Amino acid sequence: MKFIITQTLGAIKQLYNEAVTESVINIQETRKEFEGQVTIVVFPIVRFSKKSPEETANAIGEYLLKNVEQIIAFNVVKGFLNLTIADSYWINIFNNELLRDDFLRVKPNGQKVMVEYSSPNTNKPLHLGHVRNNLLGYAVAELLKADGFEVFKVNLVNDRGIHICKSMLAWEKWGNGETPESSGLKGDHLVGKYYVIFDKEYKKEIEVLKAEEKTEEDAKKNAPLIKAAQQMLLKWEAGDEAVIGLWKRMNGWVYEGFEITYKNLGVDFDKYYYESDTYLLGKDTVDEGLAKGVFFKKKDGSVWIDLTADGLDQKLVLRADGTSVYITQDLGTAQMKYDDFQMDQSIYVVGNEQDYHFKVLFLILEKLGKSWAKGLYHLSYGMVDLPSGKMKSREGTVVDADDLVAEMIETAKQKTETQGKISDFSAKEKTELYTNIGLGALKYFLLKVEPKKRLLFDPSESIDFQGNTGPFIQYTHARIKSLLSKAGYHPANSVAHDALIAIELDMIMLLAKYPEELSNAAKAFSPAFLANYLYELAKLFNKFYHEVPPIVKEENIDLKQHRLNICCLTADVLKAGTKILGINVPERM
């Protein structure tokens, strides 16, 4: 609505002899209970008019009505000036802007952004929490790409540490040479099985030691299994050939399993980083910090940074024995990633339990004078709960990602078959449809909620062909494609007709908002903005479908073409938007 801003500035100049900036003009969509489509908030203007909000609004309204042909009426509600825009304006916008081939495309903006997500441990399969992380990271990356950024998707794999050694040790003790091939298990499931076994056997040892009157803390520290796992980690760090060989073998199983899960979820990466390659990074950064006086060394030789003046605390960055802590390697990895990609922004998709860690990390990098530190952002998200309660990996009570995907597809199959609308589908088409609906339901349910919010995921609630769900949007797209097919639709501009009915105007206005909604979602790193816009569009289209006379039977050729164009653009927007979310919309269902 650039022309309204320009004309309102002209009105203020003409009426009050004041040259003001665009920032003074606040334009909103008119609330449904009032006449009009565009509302000017007049309160910021009264300091220039020196009149009441109502007087100011009426004066500006009269000026715009007289001088702007697109404005055909106005009304004033307190300090709000509601403008009615001529139908001819909206029809022109629809035909000449919304129906252009490039309406759904954004030009590159020359900015580079990295999105780091997934970051799994190689001692267990991906679970429901990882699913939210992966779907959120992928959707944010695709959002930014659609908004004109050059995007790099990276995965920092946590492939070393005591948790990995626990699975390795348990497999050595109780595995009897079991492999994915011999067991029929995916590699990540097999390794996760031994992580659970380690925990069960470790707890038995703790109970034995407690029976010998050891404290729980002593029992946990001195249990033979944990000591053996710690010894294995030391051997790994020393490069012991046997331990490294076992580590490579079991990690190889996990990577093969992960790739299957990533493929099933429809997510991908441009580059993998591995903690086994990065865990020694950061010591150069510590030396740099000492030289700059950002860090200080204690008498025992440990290195710290004092962040108390920033409302945080003192943070250890290097142990007295010269070994790294997590923040050390994260400092080094951040520098390495920037050296590799020279990105303007870097987004870390990590759960909210790490909020404090990232505050510290980013602040340290700023204090070190890293020019790129201002572009770092922690996309913090809430945990996912199930109706049955919380999940615990080491106890084997997690909801496995592969099982969840299979369950969603099976539920989609059952719900779709009860509707009895796919009897003419081939077996292959049915399988593809069930997969698209099941994954669409899962992805939409997890993405429609603001990332920061904790959410309760109910699989059965997510697969519903009515309401704010993925399948409802998918069904709306399929309904439109069926309508276009029956009408023998071919893209063409319609000859402008005199007037729009209310639902047509609502559809055009909502479709016109797609680029803005996309951009807002990208700026907020929130796929929820886009997901809920798509739902509102699908909901409004279904109202349009029921309110207009049957389009296929419409005898007025121009009116029929116009309404089919609305249908086609709606389908295109739904398809483009859901693709960003990683959701496939079927042509029929």
pLDDT of residue 394: 45
Average pLDDT of 353-366?
97
pLDDT of residue 1: 79
Look at the chain and count its residues: 589
Q: How many CA atoms lie within 13 A of 156 on its CB side?
A: 19
pLDDT digits (tens, 9 = 90+) for 350-359: 999 999 999 9
Average pLDDT of 54-78?
96
pLDDT digits (tens, 9 = 90+) for 198-245: 999 999 999 999 999 899 999 999 999 999 999 999 999 999 999 999
pLDDT digits (tens, 9 = 90+) for 554-582: 999 999 999 999 999 999 999 999 999 99
User: Where do the domains of the chain lie?
Assistant: 2-85, 116-288+320-385, 289-319, 414-580
Q: Who's near 580: CB < 8 A, 6+ residues apart?
A: 139, 142, 143, 146, 518, 527, 530
pLDDT of residue 33: 94
The CATH label, of 3.40.710.10, 1.10.730.10, 1.10.3720.10, 3.40.50.620, for the domain at 414-580 is: 1.10.730.10
Q: What is the CATH number of domain 116-288+320-385?
A: 3.40.50.620
Percent of the chain with pLDDT over 70: 98
Query: 2-85 has which fold?
Result: Gyrase A; domain 2 (3.30.1360)
Can you tell me the distance from the alpha carbon of 122 to that of 252, in angstroms, rounded to the nearest whole number?
9
Of 376-390, 505-519, 534-548, least confident by mean pLDDT is: 376-390
Count CB-CB contacts under 10 A for residue 388: 8
Sheet architecture: strand order including 271-274: 271-274, 150-157, 112-116, 345-351, 376-381
Average pLDDT of 88-103?
94
Count CB-CB contacts under 10 A for residue 432: 14
Mapping DSSP to helix (H, G, I), strand (E, B) and coil, where does residue 240 land?
Answer: coil
pLDDT of residue 385: 81
pLDDT of residue 459: 77
Cut 0.85: pTM above it: yes
pLDDT of residue 420: 79
Q: State both tokens at 558.
A: 């121009």
pLDDT at 88 over 70: yes
Yes or no: say if 509 and 93 are a contact pair by the CB < 8 Å rule.
no
Query: At how many degrees (to 10) do helices 355-367 and 326-341 cross?
Result: 60
pLDDT at 391 over 80: no
Smallest CA-to-CA distance from 286 within 309, 320, 257 is with 320
- Give me the phi and psi of 83, to 5 degrees please: -110, 135
pLDDT digits (tens, 9 = 90+) for 7-18: 999 999 999 999
Yes or no: say if 349 and 140 are a contact pair by the CB < 8 Å rule.
yes
Q: Average pLDDT of the chain?
A: 94
pLDDT digits (tens, 9 = 90+) for 255-308: 999 999 999 999 999 999 999 999 889 999 999 999 999 999 999 999 999 999
pLDDT of residue 245: 98
pLDDT at 496 over 70: no
- List 158's β-bridge partners, or say none: 121
